[in-house]
Amino acid sequence: MGLKDICKTLQFSDLGDERGKLIVIEGEDSVPFEIKRVFYIYDSDPTVVRGKHANKKSEFVLINVAGQSKVRITDGYEETVVELNKPMMGVFIPRMIWKDMYDFSDDSVLLVLASEHYDGDEYIRDYNCYLKERGIL
Ligand code: TYD
């Protein structure tokens, strides 16, 4: 299975009508986990690279609810870039996938849904440690 099959692009339901769009995301339905944490990133300019980590436990769905950004994901073997530029699309990032978020537009609001509460100890922030943890190094 390739990285694109593992880190699936998700399309969310639009329940909008003539009054405007309404996107609904339900845990364990439109995203493959119970949502325990939500955070969002904005005011990051195009020169900033965020993320640069993998998680031992947490799974994530990333959605640009406004503006756009890119996420580079790798499993240590393959690498792919997903452009996040639509409020009705997201990308699922399972545990132990390395991710970098970058190329934020000025109006970017990157919403992140997470399967776990925050625990700094489950973050791997060193790429060589990540490769070792995966048995690649
Ligand atoms: P960091 O993980 O570096 O952000 P990103 O992955 O988006 O670049 O987090 C920045 C700081 O915020 C860091 O000190 C940890 C803290 N933080 C929390 O306390 N809770 C959270 O849910 C998140 C995402 C970060």
Beta bridge partners of 81: 72
CB 103 within 8 A of CB 39: no
The answer, yes or no, to whether any atom of ligand 1 lies below 6 A from the CB of 77, is no
Chain segment 41-71, per-residue pLDDT in tens:
999 989 999 999 999 999 999 999 999 999 9
Q: Which domain holds residue 77?
A: 3-133
- Whole-angstrom CA distances from 65 to 15, 22, 35 are 15, 12, 17
Choosing from 35, 50, 122, 126 the residue with most ligand 1 atoms within 8 A of its CB, the one to mutate for a pocket test is: 50
pLDDT of amino acid 43: 97
**Residue 35 banded pLDDT, cuts 50, 70, 90:** very high
Q: Which helix or strand (DSSP H or E) is residue 89 part of?
A: strand 89-93
Domain count, the chain: 1
Which of 43, 93, 94, 95 lies closest to 69, judged by CA? 43
Mean pLDDT of the chain: 97
pLDDT of amino acid 53: 98
Q: Which residues are catalytic?
A: 53
pLDDT of amino acid 20: 98
Ligand 1 mean position, distance from CA 1 (Å): 30
**Residue 87 banded pLDDT, cuts 50, 70, 90:** very high
Ligand 1 mean position, distance from CA 62 (Å): 14
pLDDT of amino acid 5: 95
CATH number at residue 48: 2.60.120.10
Share of the chain above pLDDT 90, in %: 99
The answer, yes or no, to whether any atom of ligand 1 lies below 6 A from the CB of 37, is yes
